[in-house]
């Protein structure tokens, strides 16, 4: 059963959603597009077994050439409007979906970091939540060692990396001897993200309070700056 995804931009600036499909899964109808302030875009016919991630790109500027060139201060996917399979530059707030198999799974993840507030609103049967939201401005109080500044120093903080993305250690990334829930515990950095956005993943083993489900066949709104 195909799903419908509706994208809504409540930010004061254009947002350029990027879409990356997981390997081996059927593709999404687009891999990147522009969404003006107050704008909305709807994509019907999303395969009922689609799995992948959606993220916001912002503070973007179009290049003169080649056609489709786009440079974004955060979430950039290879300098193109259409990401064509490329993931977003860290840090980006992620909306993650795994559809089908009798049950849809979805979440908001700050495991790689945060750039723009995000909300997922499901429409369907048996949904575990009316909405999953990360509405806080995490950038505003981002620890200095995690903050990503706009190029040239103007425009302040454009993203807030997770500790894993910033320091790339086994302890923060839940790898190696820390590769199990019993060994990888929340850090002071992941707790900062969790306090700001309790429904969102703050580190790799944050499943209990951050994974949500609907019966297969639901439709979804993805809202930027809810």
- CB atoms < 10 A from the CB of 7, how many? 23
For position 207, what pLDDT does the model report? Answer: 78
Going from the first residue of the chain to its last (226 residues), give the mean pLDDT of each consecutive group of 10, the final group possibly shorter.
Answer: 96 98 97 97 97 97 77 94 96 97 95 97 92 97 94 80 97 96 94 96 89 95 98
Alpha-carbon distance 51 to 162, whole Å?
23
Alpha-carbon distance 83 to 81, whole Å?
6
pTM: 0.95
Alpha-carbon distance 79 to 34, whole Å?
14
For position 154, what pLDDT does the model report? Answer: 66
Peptide bond into 66 cis (omega under 30): yes
For position 65, what pLDDT does the model report? Answer: 59
Q: Torsion over CA of 123, 50, 87 and 176, rounded to 10 degrees?
A: 100
For position 209, what pLDDT does the model report? Answer: 83
Alpha-carbon distance 204 to 194, whole Å?
12
C-alpha closest to that of 25 among 76, 129, 96 = 96
Each residue of 48-104: pLDDT tens digit? Answer: 999 999 999 999 998 765 767 999 999 999 999 999 999 999 999 999 999 998 999
Beta bridge partners, 96, equal: 53, 107
User: Domains of the chain, with CATH numbers?
Assistant: 3-224 (2.60.110.10)
């Amino acid at each position: 059963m195909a799903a419908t995804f509706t994208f809504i931009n409540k930010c004061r600036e254009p947002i350029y959603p990027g879409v990356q499909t997981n390997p081996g899964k059927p593709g999404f109808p687009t891999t990147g597009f522009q969404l003006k302030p107050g704008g909305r875009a709807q994509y019907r016919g999303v395969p009922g077994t689609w799995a992948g991630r959606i993220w916001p790109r912002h503070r973007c500027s179009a290049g003169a050439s080649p056609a489709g060139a786009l440079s974004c201060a955060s979430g950039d996917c290879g300098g193109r409007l259409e990401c064509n399979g490329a993931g977003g530059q860290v840090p980006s707030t992620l909306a993650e979906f795994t559809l089908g198999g009798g049950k849809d799974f979805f979440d908001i993840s700050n495991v790689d970091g945060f750039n723009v507030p995000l909300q997922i609103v499901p429409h369907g049967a048996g949904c575990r939540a009316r909405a999953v939201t990360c509405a806080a401005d995490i950038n505003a109080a981002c620890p200095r060692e995690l903050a990503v500044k706009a190029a040239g120093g103007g425009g302040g903080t454009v993203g807030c990396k997770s500790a894993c993305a910033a320091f790339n250690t086994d302890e923060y990334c839940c790898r190696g001897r820390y590769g199990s829930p019993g060994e990888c515990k929340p850090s002071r950095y992941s707790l900062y993200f969790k306090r700001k956005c309790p429904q969102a993943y703050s580190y790799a083993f944050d499943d209990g309070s951050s994974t949500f489900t609907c019966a297969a066949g639901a439709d979804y709104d993805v809202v930027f700056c809810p």
